[in-house]
Amino acid sequence: MKKLKNYNLIAKTSAGLEEVLADEIKEIGGKNIELGNRAVFYEGNLEIIYKSNYFLRTALRVLKEIEFFHFKNVEQFYLKCKNINWQQYFTVDQSFVIHSTVVNSRDFSNSMFTSLRTKDAIADYFREKFGKRPDVDTENPEIVINVHVHKDACTISLDSSGESLHKRGYRIKQGEAPLNEVLAAGMILLTGWKGETDFIDPMCGSGTLPLEAAMIAHGIPAGKFRKHYTFENWDDFDEPLFDEVKKSAEKKFFEHEIYACDINGSNLLNAQTNARRALVYNKIIFKKSDFRDLEIPVENAIILINPPYGERLKFEDLDGLYSMIGERLKHHFAGNSAWILSSSVESMKYIGLKTSVKKELFNGSLKCKFNNYKLFSGKLRS
Ligand SMILES: C[S@@+](CC[C@H](N)C(=O)[O-])C[C@H]1O[C@@H](n2cnc3c(N)ncnc32)[C@H](O)[C@@H]1O
């Protein structure tokens, strides 16, 4: 078997999901794993890059580092970028785009300027060598270059994913305020659930949580329905190796139930449509119900709730809704463990249950609490 070269890799994620992502990376064989801020750093070869894109549920994108340097000023930055052996990574006939981030830089006040200087350096490199330059394509680029400037240090990477990995390829129906798939999978993994018990989402909307739960429970890879990754455009793309990676997915036996419920029939229909697309329709029990009336005889189940926050979905009596959630959990779901994600800190107080674990997550730009309530029955407590 040929030995594959090792690279420095960076998997990007949402704030609060770094540790679950690091666990996932360990599971697929990543080495020298280190936690970053909304990122995990690790090492791996091409196989690990393919596995990262195909299996990681909590990564938004996976970057392969190609250059790291310090610079004194913008001119030196440009020269160091132009010095990179770009033809090793793409040809003059492939389109590209640059995504930049800038943190605490004296020389670059914004990421647009960083992208512009990098693009100039790449264009000049190719023009000097080949008499022409590759095109920039912001819509459908074949090569995505990531530039990260922190103070006077620059890391240049190739983005192996392209479109964000939360775009799993199963979502047809959006719903009103759907969770990002990476956040949904992260929430589930943060609870520790991997299919050992029943799972209930009483306010499922377009079904992101129960769908991701079904994929976790049955061992369906995160990338199963995705059509494309930018690493497929790389010169070193090894199709048989990627086929091997896809074949290595292991189905899991799941002996419990996943319930997806919502008060709104058309939201539930959206969830069902998405579930059909993700081939998990018959692995989920759908129920149209107000949580106020929901009865599911379960024990030791995980109940995950993403109620309206009153932000994107306006709600008349938000405090009343949260108070109902607390009441219902306490009196009808004792013996289970509930987790609630919400940015509405004031309304969360109306849940009125003792919080066992408090975490912080971001739903888009909304800072949210992700709280766990252990629902002991009176008997258990005594
Ligand atoms: C923020 S959305 C959930 C979005 C969902 N996580 C997704 O990814 O699409 C909140 C959902 O709660 C539902 N809902 C509101 N009040 C409810 C109630 N009393 N019982 C059940 N569902 C309710 C709404 O219909 C809406 O679909």
Q: How does pLDDT run across 355-374, given as a tens digit for each residue?
A: 999 999 999 999 999 999 99
pLDDT above 90 covers what percent of the chain? Answer: 93
Residue located nearest, by CA, to atom 14 of ligand 1: 203
pLDDT for position 82: 98
**Residue 264 beta carbon below 6 angstroms from any ligand 1 atom:** yes
Mutational test site, ligand 1, from 168, 176, 187, 263, max ligand atoms within 8 Å of CB: 263
Q: For residue 205, which atom of ligand 1 is closest to its CA?
A: 27
**Residue 270 beta carbon below 6 angstroms from any ligand 1 atom:** no
| pLDDT of 380 over the 50 cut | no
**Residue 179 beta carbon below 6 angstroms from any ligand 1 atom:** yes
How much is the average pLDDT of 201-219?
Answer: 98
pLDDT for position 376: 86
Residue 172 Cα to ligand 1 midpoint, Å, equals 18
User: Hey, what are 371's tokens?
Assistant: 């709280």
CA atoms within 13 A on the CB side of 77: 25
pLDDT for position 382: 41
pLDDT for position 313: 58
pLDDT for position 314: 64
How much is the average pLDDT of 100-111?
Answer: 93
pTM: 0.95
Residue 378's pLDDT band, with cuts at 50, 70 and 90, is low
**Residue 195 beta carbon below 6 angstroms from any ligand 1 atom:** no
Residue 194 Cα to ligand 1 midpoint, Å, equals 23
pLDDT digits (tens, 9 = 90+) for 257-300: 999 999 999 999 999 999 999 999 999 999 999 999 999 999 99
What gap in Å lies between CA 176 and CA 207, rounded to an integer? 11
Domains within the chain, CATH numbers bracketed: 7-159 (3.30.2130.30), 181-220+247-381 (3.40.50.150)
Range in 174-183, 227-236, 328-337 with the lowest mean pLDDT: 174-183
191 class by beta-carbon count within 10 Å (0-12 exposed, 13-18 middle, 19+ buried): buried
* Sheet containing strand 357-363, strands side by side: 285-288, 258-262, 199-201, 302-305, 336-342, 366-375, 357-363
What gap in Å lies between CA 21 and CA 6, rounded to an integer? 20
| pLDDT of 1 over the 90 cut | no
**Residue 206 beta carbon below 6 angstroms from any ligand 1 atom:** yes
**Residue 155 beta carbon below 6 angstroms from any ligand 1 atom:** no
Q: For residue 309, which atom of ligand 1 is closest to its CA?
A: 1
Compute φ and ψ for 224, nearest 5 degrees.
-50, -40
Residue located nearest, by CA, to atom 3 of ligand 1: 205
